[in-house]
Amino acid sequence: MRYIDTTSELENPGPTQRVVRLESVDGVLRKAVYLKYGWLSVPLNKVIQNGIHSVSCKFEQCVYAIGNIGICKASHKIAYPCKPSQQPRDVCFIGKIIDGKIGFKDDKILTMELNYDAGTLHFFVDGVEQL
């Protein structure tokens, strides 16, 4: 059985009110509109404790901007500005950087799937797993 989360929302971290605008989609804050250039991370207020969870997103009108998708502990407060990685398509884990396999462009569906119980994290671009 697949459960669709209809309550988790994006959060506006601190002073970013001038950098991003959050918009409602079906009554829930699920769209972030970038208002000016700056390194920004927009967190989702979802706390994961067990099971398999999948989060998908799509970047639009980013032109050549670098976009990232990631996960961190719920207790971690993301500061602004926050530069998630130094190079596009990299994975960062406790300071270790792994070069990515494929870039992505606007309108591609990016999916991050976490199996909390097994301790695995998988990334997909338009349904194709990134190994």
Specify if 5 maps to a domain. no
Model pLDDT, residue 101: 58
Distance, in Å, from the CA atom of 72 to the CA atom of 107, rounded to the nearest integer, reads 24
Model pLDDT, residue 89: 47
Specify if 9 maps to a domain. no
Reported pTM: 0.76
Specify if 98 maps to a domain. yes
pLDDT digit string, tens, across residues 86-118: 554 455 665 666 666 566 677 888 899 999 999
- Contact status, residue 42 vs residue 32, Cβ threshold 8 Å: yes
- Contact status, residue 28 vs residue 7, Cβ threshold 8 Å: yes
Specify if 56 maps to a domain. yes
pLDDT digit string, tens, across residues 24-79: 999 999 998 888 777 788 888 989 899 999 998 888 887 656 677 788 888 887 77
Structural domain count of the chain: 1
Specify if 94 maps to a domain. yes
Specify if 6 maps to a domain. no
Specify if 4 maps to a domain. no
The residue segments making up the domain with residue 24 are: 14-130
pLDDT band of residue 85 (cuts 50, 70, 90) is low
Distance, in Å, from the CA atom of 96 to the CA atom of 9, rounded to the nearest integer, reads 29
- HSE-up (13 A, CA, CB side) for residue 90: 14
